[in-house]
Structure 1
Amino acid sequence: MKYSHACSLLALACSTSVCAESYVIGVERLDFAPHYSIDKQGQYQGFAREVFDLFAATTGVELSYKIMPVDQLLPALLDGAVDFKYPDSDTWSKEQKVGATLSYSRGIVDYVDGVLVAPQRQGQPIDQLKRLALVNGWTPWGYQERIDAKQIQLSYSDDLRQMIRLALKKDTDGAYFNVVVATHYLDNIRARPGALVFDANLPHSRGSFHLSTLKHAQFLQRFDRFLIEQQSQIAALKDKYQVEANLDSQYMGMEQWKVDSLKRRQQKDASGG
């Protein structure tokens, strides 16, 4: 009787909107600024957090974030320990996803992964790339044939800091990573702007970060509508965090002050000044 009475009270409370929908997003314990990172208090922060918080604020859904090691995140999604995984893509970890029917949101933010090199190496042919630095778990798309042929030797690091250090010390010829994240690290954390630059002449890949789920496909339909309806606010967040900075221009991977300087010079030349 007591159990039945408790259930009735809970149902009544939820029917009067006291109980909100509540979901858990599994996120990476990774310093991947400006996209996302974990602050000193252990809180998830960055562009992704603001997008999800905006969705929660506009829909009344309650979202919480479960911060996990990268290699534990997909198993947690498949086991039901979390409701969603971010970031994700239908092209990632295909072997681990065999037999699982996952649903994916629209692309939330675009990215480019590629090789950053010392400025004096920029524009050199791929034959000159003999040693490539990587973070553990990353796949250097476009380079596998040369790796298999022993034409490129890989040097793995535990994190971005170690990988960048290898490239700066010239222990490798370049570093393969997310271009925006690596540039942000060099500009704002390592304080070595321009020490490594993206080489668009070398193979690189483009994609988008998505939110994925095993059980909540209808939720993703609502989230997709939110992405469309709140385009202007999300664009403002992208501009605030510079997560898509110059992805479709010749300035990709260049520190922002230099981009601004070059644009001012071009405007001056165009006006005949």
Structure 2
Amino acid sequence: MQTSFFIAAAALYAICAFLPSRQHLAISIGTALGWTLHGLALWGDVVAPDSLRLGFAVMLSAALWISVGFYWLDNRNRALDSLRVLVLPVAACAVLLPIAFPGSAITLEGKTVLFPWHVAVAMLAYSTLTIAAFHAVLMALQESHLHALRGMINERKGGWFSIAIARLPALLTMEKILFRMIGLGFTLLTLTVVSGLVFSEQLFGKALTWDHKTIFTLLSWLLFGVLLAGRHWRGWRGKTALTFTLTGFVTLLLAYVGSRFVLEVVLHRGLA
């Protein structure tokens, strides 16, 4: 059942990505339906009796599920239709990843009721900051496009991607959206870090270990914290904000998704 839902969601995302913008109602309904099927498939794939199934593919798929939901709502409020044609094709690919890489099950036996909540908040943190990183890349491309005189004069010759970039909102608007995402992601990541540090014994059944996952997560948390502090006290923006955002995201990616990819795909091992 989950496989059928994943495939159906991918098909709807792909169709809605390339429908003409005048088909706004069809796009809105199709995207909402695809997002619903995607969420149901993820729930059925991750949640099992007395266990959770996790892995790098599920994390990336969940991140794009959050992304689609965010941009669907944002598109309704701000008419950011150009973001649709950029986000949905990526989501159409990411939604299929759990089929190829199902991950491994984590038993809930012996775990406290805090454990599923810790996992849920962590996934939301990773997903929100993934959106922020994707948004930062769009801003970098947009800024590059603004400096390309040929693209500014005759954007229609650059293909659909160039047209979508050219039609993005003003950089200041994009920047405000970016920092809202980072603020929410940092709050969720703080809850993840605090719960992991304080309740390690109850959550994982063992004392805190300073492995690569813990170190990279704390380093990412520090980078995003410095960025928000610099934004508040020094007015950081532009390339500085983009550099901190992408560096923090890559660090967070290495903390979980990268290590899971190596274990599951390269070394063919289950979750630790």
TM-score by length of 2: 0.26
Please identify the structure whose Cα radius of gyration is greater. Answer: 1
Higher strand share: 1
Larger helix fraction of residues: 2
Output the TM-score relative to the length of structure 1.
Answer: 0.26
